[in-house]
Chains A and B, each alone.
Chain A
Amino acid sequence: MAPILLFPDPPPPELIQSLDMAGYAWKAVANAVAAEEYEIHDEWGGAILVADKDPDAAFSLARALKKRSDPISNILILINGGQLNQLELRDDLYDDFCLTPFHPQELHARLNHLFWKGGQGTRGNTISYGDLVLNVETYQAVIQGRPLDLTYMEYELLKFLVSHPGKVFSRETLLSRVWGYDYFGGARTVDVHVRRLRSKLGEEYAGLIQTVRSVGYSFGQSRWGS
């Protein structure tokens, strides 16, 4: 499914972690202009706006997303229990809200419900980028209709990368986010797996995973010119 818009940029780490674990694709934006730039290439599956730090900025973005010719559906507001008054008279700017600090299961339940109402299925169960489609429920990856035979770690690494197109990750970040902090092998493990993934993607698609010299890796064409 299309990625979820996240605000602010960068979003809170616990939100990222929660979405990554559930296999949702996402993209953080700082303002309405950035949100629109993205739409030149792809549409948004929904939006999660974290309003507890800066409610005015969050609601002003919500307004921009809702009050336009092609409004975004499925806007979830994250807000602190002490700020509920901020919701007053803004019912038209969001579809649901969730209190912070949020419980991951509640967040998933609310997203499931939103997407169900929006007719996008009960779960965000596929992530795609161009010819590449990952089904996070069946663990299957398909490129141009050809199934990819991946090992578990190759699949997890690819899922992570595809969920964050255009973003550059250091080996350390990939190691901690995909393998977990307790993994022993060190960052070289990431190189080994990236090389294996490129092997399996085949020559035509191997370039989807780019090596960013002395930084790490990024996936896909950068859509943000960064």
Chain B
Amino acid sequence: MEPQKEYVLRTVEERGVRLIRLWFTDVLGKLKSVAISPAELEGAFEEGLQFDGSAIDGYSRVQESDVLAVPDANSFELLPWVDPSEPTGRIFCDIKNLDGSPFQGDPRQVLRRNLKAAHDKGFTFFTAPEIEFFYFNNANERKPLDNAGYFDLTTLDLGSGLRRRTLHMLEAMGIPVEYSFHEDNASQHEIDLRYTETLDMADNIMTLRLVVRKIALDAGIHATFMPKPIDEGQGSGMHTHMSLFQGDVNVFHDPGDVLGLSDVARKFMAGILYHAPEFTAVTNQLINSYKRMVSGYESPVYVSWARNNRSALVRVPIHKAGKASSTRIEYRALDSAANPYLAYSVILAAGLKGIEDGYELPDEAAENLWSLNRDEAKTVGLQRLPQDLREALDLMEESELVRNVLGEHIFEWFLRNKREEWETYQRHVTPYEIERYLPIW
């Protein structure tokens, strides 16, 4: 038996773990869990845990609906909020077919496959997300807990207490936090995770979402990662910093370049920019996602890149002098409701395509893009990101790249599911319409 598995089994025994939660993620990015007793764990490692996948979003198939959840021993952690007298562990699973091959509908397997493609070229893909979310008194009233703003030090308020407890939990689970602070909007918070390899990061994001919600819920508060929960002010993004390493070398860095950016970094960025409109349905998957992506609210609108221009889609942060290893780019369209496994897969694949096919990086966006009107943008030749989910789906449907990255199974299911979502929305008469039209027309 591999030492990692033996280690987990031994820990379970020594710590008297009572319950092990097997975690996996559906295609829409919702966390799923099935609990087993410690006695079942060894069998799960060896043979996987068989279950009916047809009830999971995106897993459904007409025949052979049974799949296997195979725990990934590297991801075992004890849940720090559980009563210590009844220790409970969690472990992420890869979903496999009964014959042991990777299951096409499993987002974690999709990311594994795409990371492997990068590994085969010698690259390790590091990511560090900035995750934004809101606290509300409850899900119906949407009452913020405070009226503070960016970086405000809100002593004694409920929100910062919740955030502090959340950080403790994350750190205890080996998820290091780089920064956390009060964001721009009332009751909006941000937690920045320290970079790590991307499979771990996607697991960490799933864990973070659960921890944030759980800690809030214990205090009777509703935490939400909905991209745009209130009309005014900015929504919740998940800007992600990225870099590619070859062994110990950050291949995004070139000391001889004006921006410190290598040719590889430029091509990677070019790939992302070129394909961004096609994969936006994946990085911004809700109807609500597109209400965040409007001018002026810290969210990109145009396909563009720039150094210190926060209206750009890809930003190149200035790194501290002498810190070559921290050369990176930041993708700013991603929102907090994305499925991280799928979102990081499409971004990585687009970047790699740029490197492989030698894409050329367009000129840097010089001005504040939020101040441009429609005609000005057109004159400069700026392409807009899709403005709603329907447009994003139309663009995705035509994309060879996204089809290859996600695999046929998820690609087809995702489009079908999201088209239905759009149609349901189209039939719905919103309060906005009633308010605006009913009195007049």
Contacts and interface: CB of A to CB of B under 8 A. Distances in A.
Contacts of B246: 186
A151 interface: yes
A149 interface: yes
B124 A185 contact: yes
Give the interface residue-count category, chain A: 20 to 34
Contacts of A139: 7, 10-11, 14
Contacts of B124: 184-186, 188
B74 interface: yes
Interface stretch (B62-70, B103-111, B142-150, B170-178): B170-178
A139 B14 CA distance: 9
Interface stretch (A6-14, A55-63, A117-125, A193-201): A193-201
B77 interface: yes
Interface stretch (B190-198, B218-226, B334-342, B350-358): B190-198
B89 to A, nearest CB: 9
Interface stretch (A28-36, A38-46, A81-89, A152-160): A152-160
Contact of B126 (A147, A150, A155, A188): A188
Give the interface residue-count category, chain B: 20 to 34
B88 to A, nearest CB: 11
Contact of B196 (A138, A152, A186, A192): A192
Interface string B177-201: 0000000000000000011110010
A152 B245 contact: no
A189 interface: yes
A185 B15 contact: no
Contact of B197 (A138, A150, A192, A200): A192
Contact of A195 (B7, B15, B194, B197): B194
B14 A196 contact: no
A187 interface: yes
A185 B197 contact: yes
Most B CB contacts (10 A, CB to CB) among A138, A172, A198 go to: A138
Contacts of A110: none
Given A139-B10, A192-B195, A152 B248 contact: no
Contact of B175 (A171, A187, A199): A199
A140 interface: yes
B20 to A, nearest CB: 13
B73 interface: yes
Contacts of A188: 124, 126, 245, 248, 325
Nearest to B176: A195
Interface string B45-80: 000000000000000000000000000011111101
Contacts of A185: 124, 197
Given A151-B76, A188-B325, A189-B197, A200 B174 contact: yes
A120 B75 CA distance: 36
Interface in A108-132: none
Contacts of B174: 150-151, 154, 196, 199-200
Given A152-B3, A186-B245, A198-B176, 7 more contacts: A139-B11, A140-B11, A140-B15, A186-B247, A187-B248, A188-B248, A195-B176
11 contacts: A140-B15, A149-B77, A149-B172, A152-B3, A152-B4, A187-B247, A188-B124, A188-B325, A192-B194, A192-B196, A199-B172
